Structure 1
Amino acid sequence: MSAYVIFIREKTNDPEELKIYSSKAPAGLAGHPVKPLAMYGTHEVIEGPQVEGAALLEFPSFEEAKAWYSSPAYQDALKHRLKGGTYRGIIIEGVSIESNKK
C-alpha cells in the first residue's frame, strides 16, 4: 500500500542551509522508488497556523518511505534542512481503493 511523506516548512531560519539542502536532497532520492507529488508550490492554509510551504512525496510502501528517510544520503542532506528551517515531517500510509468502497 502506498505511503506518503509530508514535510511542512513552518519557518525559514537560515536560507543558506536550505540552499545546501536543496543541492544535496536529489542525491538522497537516487535509488528509491519515490514520486514527488507537490513541492512547495502555491498553497492556502485552510486550518491551523500559517506555513511557508509543504512537500508531498509518494512511496510504494510505508517501509520504503522509512528506508529513504533513514538512508545515509538523505540523512546527509537532512541535517542542512533542519538547520535551515523549522519543519514538521510525517509518514502516512495510504488507503486501498477497496477500503474506500466500504
Structure 2
Amino acid sequence: MSAYVVFTRMKTTDQEELEKYRTGIKATMKDRPIEVLVADGKHEILEGDPIEGMVIVKFPSVKAAKDWIDSEAYQDIARRRKHGAIYHGLIAEGVS
C-alpha cells in the first residue's frame, strides 16, 4: 500500500541552511522509489494556521518511506532542514 510523507514548513529560521538542504535532498532520493507530488508550490489554507510551504512525497509503502527517512544520507542532510526552518512532518498510509 502506498504511503505519503508530508512536511509543512511553518517558519523559516535560516534561509542559508534551508538552501543547503534543498541542494542536497535530491541525492538522498537517488535509486529509491520516490515520487515528489508537491514541492513548495502555490497553496491555499482552507483551515488552520498559515504555513510557508509544503512537500508531499509518495512511496510504495510505509517501510520504504521509513527506510528513506532513517537512512544515513537523509539524516545527514535533514539536520540542515531542522536548522533552517520549523517543520511538521508525518507519514500517512494510502487507501487500498
Structure-2-length-normalised TM-score:
0.98
Q: Could you give the per-residue CA deviations for residues 33-64 of structure 1, whole angstroms, max 9, x where no partner exists?
A: 10000000000010100000101000000000
Task: Please tell me the root mean square deviation across aligned C-alpha atoms, in Å.
Answer: 0.5
Deviation at 1:23, TM superposition (A): 1.2
Aligned to 1:51: 51
Alignment partner, residue 3 of structure 2: 3
Give the secondary structure class of the aligned counterpart of 1:22.
helix
The whole-number CA distance in structure 2 between the counterparts of 1:75 and 1:31 is: 17
For 2:87, what is the secondary structure of its paired residue? strand
Unaligned runs of 5+ in 1: 97-102
Query: Distance in 2 between the 1:47 and 1:55 partners?
Result: 18
Q: Which residue number in structure 2 is paired with residue 12 of structure 1?
A: 12
Query: Which residue of the partner structure matches residue 88 of structure 1?
Result: 88
Query: TM-score, structure 1 length as denominator?
Result: 0.92
Partner of 1:36: 36
- Could you tell me how far apart the structure 1 residues matched to 2:19 and 2:95 are? 34
What amino acid sits opposite 1:49 in the alignment? D
Give the corresponding residue for 1:99.
Answer: none
Larger Rg: 1
Asked if 1:77 is matched to 2:77, the reply is yes
C-alpha distance in structure 2 between counterparts of 1:47 and 1:60, whole Å: 29
* Large movers: runs of 4+ above 6 Å: none
Structure 2: how far apart are the matches of 1:38 and 1:10?
Answer: 16
Deviation at residue 31 of structure 1 after TM alignment: 2.0
Q: Secondary structure, in 3 states, of the residue corresponding to 2:95? A: coil
Number of residue pairs matched by the alignment: 96
Q: 1: CA distance between counterparts of 2:31 and 2:91?
A: 19
